[in-house]
Every structure is written in C-alpha cells, then in structure tokens.
Amino acid sequence: MAQLPTGLVTHSQKVCRLYKRALRTLENFYFRRHEFRYEAVLLRHRFDQNKKIPDARLAKQLLLEGEEEVFKHQHWQSKKFPDSESGIAHENYLHCPDCVMDYWDPMEKSRYPKYFAKREELKKEYEELYKKLFPETPKTAEK
C-alpha cells in the first residue's frame, strides 16, 4: 500500500512518468548501447519540442496521445527488475532468527562488545518479564 500514490498528480509528474516509461520501452527494444542512446536522444528531442506549450488542453491532449503511443509500442516481453513487484526476487529474502546470534563464536562477538552487552541485558529483561507474566504452575502429582 505504500507504493500507491496519494494526492493529486500534476501534469509535469505525468509527463515525467510517461518519459520514463517511454525510455524503458526503448531499452527493451535496443540492446546495443549506441542504438539505445540514439533513440533516447530523439525521444528527448520530441519531449523538449512540446515543453513550453502554454495551452493546458493541448498539453493534456499531447500527453494522452503519448501514453497511447507508448502503450501501442510496448515490448511483448519487457525487462523486469529482480526486486520489482513482478520480478523473480520480489520479497524473496531469508529471515534469520535472532537466536542464531547466540551461536556466534566469541571472537566474532568481540567485534561488537556494546551490542552483545546490551543484548544480554535485554535477554535477561525478557526472561524476567516472561516469568512474571507466566508463573510456573504447580506440577500435578503423578499417579
């Protein structure tokens, strides 16, 4: 939910997003760097030609035409970044539990003395809190 835009999106923001999408589309089609740069310069020139249009209606119409053109020319198999929402590594991370640090070698722990001293204090506090919240119940007599 943090990625959803809140509030209004200005015209200039829409134009910037369109430019970025158009560049990504070019990137998908042109693998050779010099070809991509040539096409990117032409694209930038097209955007710069319409930069100073004072009429808002004409600017909006050009924006809609640009979005339609990018949609029509999108790549059939676009490049995806691994950590992006549709990438193969999205939210694919290993969660290492805190108890693993109990098995560190003393030489490794000696590199971070303040951290491990504070950690030992917190472990004692958690243990005391646990004993306070969950007192031991008397054991039933075995028959």
Q: How far is CA 77 from CA 21, 29, 40, 45, 85, in A?
A: 14, 10, 20, 26, 16
The pLDDT value given to residue 138: 61
pLDDT per residue over 80-116, tens digit each?
Answer: 888 888 888 888 888 888 889 999 999 999 999 999 9
Query: Are 57 and 107 in the same domain?
Result: no
Q: Which helix or strand (DSSP H or E) is residue 137 part of?
A: none
Domain assignment present for residue 28? The answer is yes
Mean pLDDT of 58-79: 92
Residues 53-67: tens digit of each pLDDT: 999 999 999 999 999
Output the 3-class SS for 82-99: CCCCCCCCCCCCCCCCHH
Q: Are residues 17 and 51 in the same domain?
A: yes
109 in a structural domain: yes
Residue 124 belongs to domain spanning:
98-133
> Total structural domains in the chain?
2
Residue 89 lies in a domain: no
Identify whether the C-beta of residue 60 lies closer than 8 Å to the C-beta of residue 18: no
69 plus 102 within the same structural domain: no
On average, the pLDDT of the chain sits at 88
C-alpha neighbours within 13 Å on the C-beta side of residue 23? 13
Any domain includes 38: yes
Structural domain contains residue 79 = no
**Does residue 139 fall inside a structural domain?**
no
Q: Which of 28, 56, 73 is the last residue of a domain?
A: 73
